[in-house]
Amino acid sequence: MNRMIAVAAAAAATLALVPATGFAQTTRGYYSATPVTAPAKTSVVTRSTVWHCGEGTCTASKSTSRDAIMCELVVREVGTLQSFSANGTAFDADALAKCNARAR
């Protein structure tokens, strides 16, 4: 019984130390791309990154590629983007225009 209480206390302490944003990032993804036209597919793969698309937005976990490269890769698959963000930071107009130049 004492072991269960110790394990439960350790788990509660660990969860209390994890910031809430860590869970939101995992749920929503590190990258977020909003295409002008909703993609026909619910998932897209760019190199080794799986993007999940729904409700007008595609999201993906963090990759080893630079953020600008990830934008260019997804724009090739889903078309021109209205917005793109990495780790909650949106691309500015110039960076988004450069990314959208890679659209098919």
Number of domains in the chain: 1
13 found inside a domain: no
Instruction: Give, as one character, the DSSP assignment of residue 43.
Output: E
Instruction: Render the burial of 66-87: b for 16+ CB within 10 Å, e for the rest.
Output: ebeebbbbbbebbeebeebbbe
10 found inside a domain: no
pLDDT on residue 2: 58
45 found inside a domain: yes
pLDDT on residue 28: 67
Q: Is 62 exposed, middle or buried (0-12, 13-18, 19+ CB in 10 A)?
A: middle
User: Position of tokens 């976990």?
Assistant: 61
State if pTM tops 0.75.
no
Nearest to 48 by CA among 69, 78, 27: 69
The series of mean pLDDT values per 10 residues for the chain, 104 residues long, is 52 44 52 94 94 95 96 96 97 98 91
pLDDT on residue 104: 83
Structural domain including 64 reads: 24-100
Contact call for residues 67 and 75 (beta carbons, < 8 A): no
Cα(28)–Cα(23) distance, rounded to whole angstroms? Answer: 9
pLDDT on residue 13: 46
82 found inside a domain: yes
